[in-house]
Amino acid sequence: MHYFTVGKYRLAAGLSWSVLTGGRPGRQLRALTGRRNPCVLVRQGEMQYAGVGEGRERAWSVAVAALPALGQNGYALIKLPEERWLFLAAVDGMPALQGDITGDSVTCIRARDRFLAFHDAPVSGWQETGTEAAPADITALLPPRLPTAARLFIPGQRARRCLLAGLAAVAIWYAWDYWQGVQRREAQRLAAQARKQAPKKTGVRHVALPHPWATLSTPQHLLGECLTAVRNLPLTLAGWTLKGGECRGDGIRAEYHFQADSTLTRFRESALALIPPPVVMTRDDGQSGEIRWPIPAGEMTDERPGNQTEQLTPFISSLQARSVTLQLKADPPLRRPSQTIDGEVIRYIQGWQSWSFSVTSPRAPDRWFPLQKGIRITDIAFSLSAAASITWKTSGQIFAVKENPHEDEK
Query: What confidence score (pLDDT) does residue 162 get?
Result: 44
Query: What confidence score (pLDDT) does residue 208 get?
Result: 87
Task: Determine the residue type at 277.
Answer: P
- Residue-by-residue pLDDT tens, the chain, 410 positions: 899 999 999 999 999 888 887 656 777 787 777 777 888 998 887 788 889 888 878 899 999 999 999 999 999 999 998 889 999 999 989 999 889 999 999 999 999 998 898 888 888 899 998 889 999 999 999 999 999 999 998 886 654 554 445 555 555 555 556 667 777 787 787 777 776 665 555 578 888 889 999 989 899 999 999 999 998 899 999 999 999 999 998 899 999 999 888 899 999 999 999 888 899 998 888 899 999 999 888 888 999 999 999 999 999 999 999 888 899 999 998 888 888 877 788 888 899 999 999 999 999 999 999 989 999 999 999 999 887 789 999 999 999 998 776 655 54
Query: What confidence score (pLDDT) does residue 245 get?
Result: 95
CB < 8 Å & 24+ apart, contacts of 240-245: 240/267, 240/270, 240/289, 241/384, 242/384, 243/288, 243/383, 243/384, 244/381, 244/382, 244/383, 244/384, 245/290, 245/381, 245/382
Query: What confidence score (pLDDT) does residue 177 get?
Result: 66
Query: What confidence score (pLDDT) does residue 159 get?
Result: 47
Residues 356-371 pLDDT 10s: 999 999 999 999 999 8
> 3-class DSSP state for residue 371?
coil
Torsion sign (Cα): 98, 101, 107, 112: positive
CA–CA distances in Å: residue 67 to residues 64, 73, 121, 151: 5, 10, 18, 14
The whole-angstrom separation of Cα 213 and Cα 377 is: 10
Query: What confidence score (pLDDT) does residue 393 get?
Result: 96
Please give the DSSP secondary-structure letter assigned to residue 409: G
Single pTM value for the model: 0.49
Query: What confidence score (pLDDT) does residue 202 get?
Result: 59
Residues 71-82 pLDDT 10s: 999 999 999 988
Query: What confidence score (pLDDT) does residue 187 get?
Result: 79
Task: Determine the residue type at 203.
Answer: G
Query: What confidence score (pLDDT) does residue 179 get?
Result: 65
The whole-angstrom separation of Cα 157 and Cα 155 is: 5
For the chain, what are the domain ranges? 2-155, 219-293, 301-409
Closest by Cα among 11, 5, 19 to 95: 19
Query: What confidence score (pLDDT) does residue 392 get?
Result: 95
- What are the b/e assignments for 183-221, b being 16+ CB within 10 Å? eeeeeeeeeeeeeeeeeeeeeeeeeeeebebeebbbbeb
